[in-house]
Amino acid sequence: MIGISALWIGILLMGGGLALDRVLTNAVTNNFDDGLSYVLTAMISSAEVGPEGEVFFNRPLADQRFLEPASGLYYQISGTGHEDWRSRSLWDRAIRVTPEMIASPGEGIDNEQFAEEPLRVMARTVILPGSNVRWIFIVAQAREGLDAQIHSLRQTLINSFVALGVGLILLATLQVFFGLRPLRRIRQEIARMRAGEKSRVTAALPREVQPLVEELNGLLAHNEQQAEEARRHAGNLAHALKTPLTVVMNAATVHDPELAPIVIRETATMRRQIDHHLARARALGRRGAAQSRTEVWPSLEAVERAVERLYPEARIDRDGTHTASVRVERQDLDELLGNLVENAAKYGGGSVFVTVEAAGPWVDILVEDDGTGIPEADRERIFDRGARLDSGKPGTGLGLAIVRDVAEIYGGTVTLGESEDLGGLLVTLRLPAG
């Protein structure tokens, strides 16, 4: 930021300085030329032609420098067939008439004829009364004074603009330094949090960086929540595995003759618990990533094909909004729909109907079957891990428990009811719209 500011300041000051130098130099030069023009006009107005055709002044020029040799101010009058009439200040020198002088009458022209004394020359061609000769009136002045003024002017400009540039760059540096100080304070706050001195950024900061602080504190809270959920899952899994392991250990210690069936039964229990916690852990991990967007209809089609292979006798129909999408990872949505549609095909009477409805910020997925349904008194208990109302069919009793846990992780809900059309169970899965 400081480098870009310095570069931009330098470009602007250089452009402004060159423009100002051009304007002021032209102003000083024009003022210098105005003095030459005044002298040239005075020469012409006082010039007359004598009896022998020579030019003379009817009154002397006021500037004494015309009489002093090498004074720096000169005049010369030239005419065809006549000898040049020069000021005494030229002494034995003569100003050479150039085509440029003839082509630019009344304009100041730089002349390097005298190597030791650069001149500023102005000429004008005049026909005087009583003469047919074209007289060339020339006035010249040494550029020393003009160059000294321009040099002094440029030196003042350079010094002023350098001081201005240094001041602006210093100001930009201070502005960047103090402007970025809140970010350094945030870095210090983060270092204190890493050292365990605090858990949030609490320093008073300008409102320009306050949104950053709020997002950072929100991220910290989110990470703490995920860590707490991970610890809680680890504790729940350890607690769930502790009892089956104790049963197996006791049976093995006393050499129980039913050890094999006990191991098989308790291992199945532990497997159900592990599957449940792994599914929940996967959903939690994916929720921590960026917001996902998954279309419901392709996921529903894939689930339908899989369930029809498992239960070919079941008929699955679907209807609703084909373009609906939800803020859920595709793998988790497949697991949610897979559990619900598989349960409907397994425990229903052979007919399953799925409806997708977009309801503002939500998407409702309704899964209906024509089975016996679930009594209202058992609808809350069925969500418990391992709870099963029909033990005659294979299963772990974790399907609805997983559905509820994963849905809640994404901010959704699962409710049970009675299907008005099919007469069986109605499961309503509500998920946030994508």
pLDDT of residue 266: 80
Angle, helices 296-310 vs 330-347, to 10°: value is: 40
Q: What is the pLDDT of residue 434?
A: 80
Starting from the edge strand earliest in sequence, which strands make up the sheet with 413-418, in order? 315-320, 351-359, 362-369, 425-432, 413-418
- 311 versus 242: which is more confidently predicted? 311
392, pLDDT greater than 60: no
Of 35-44, 165-174, 221-230, 322-331, give the lowest mean pLDDT range.
221-230
> Considering the chain, what is the average pLDDT of its residues?
85
Residue with tokens 């369930």: 307
pLDDT greater than 60 at residue 229: yes
199-215 pLDDT, tens digit per residue, is 888 888 888 888 888 88
Amino acid at 206: P
Q: What is the pLDDT at residue 69?
A: 92
- The C-alpha atoms of residue 120 and residue 110 are separated, in whole angstroms, by 5
With the C-alpha atoms ordered 118, 124, 129, 135, is the resulting torsion angle positive or negative? positive
- Which is more confident, 159 or 360? 159
Q: What is the pLDDT of residues 76-133, one digit of tens each?
A: 999 888 888 999 999 889 999 988 988 888 899 999 988 889 999 999 999 888 888 8
pLDDT at residue 154, rounded to an integer: 93
Residue 269 is predicted with a pLDDT of: 74
The CATH number given to 2-150 is 3.30.450
Domain-by-domain residue ranges, the chain?
2-150, 216-287, 294-432
CATH homologous superfamily for 294-432?
Histidine kinase-like ATPase, C-terminal domain (3.30.565.10)
CB-based burial, 219-242: b 16+ in 10 Å, e otherwise: eeeeeeeeeeeeeebeeebeebbe
- Listed residue (431, 420, 245) closest to 324, CA to CA: 431
| pLDDT score of 310 more than 60 | yes
Helix axes 144-179, 181-194, angle to 10 degrees: 30
Position 395 scores a pLDDT of 42
Of 272-276, 352-356, 427-431, give the lowest mean pLDDT range: 272-276
Which phi-psi region, left, alpha or beta, contains residue 350 (left: φ > 0; alpha: ψ -120 to 50)?
Answer: left
| pLDDT of 169 above 50 | yes
Does the pLDDT of residue 348 top 50, yes or no? yes
Report which residue type is found at 15.
G
How do residues 131-161 score in pLDDT, each as one tens digit? Answer: 888 999 999 999 999 999 999 999 999 999 9
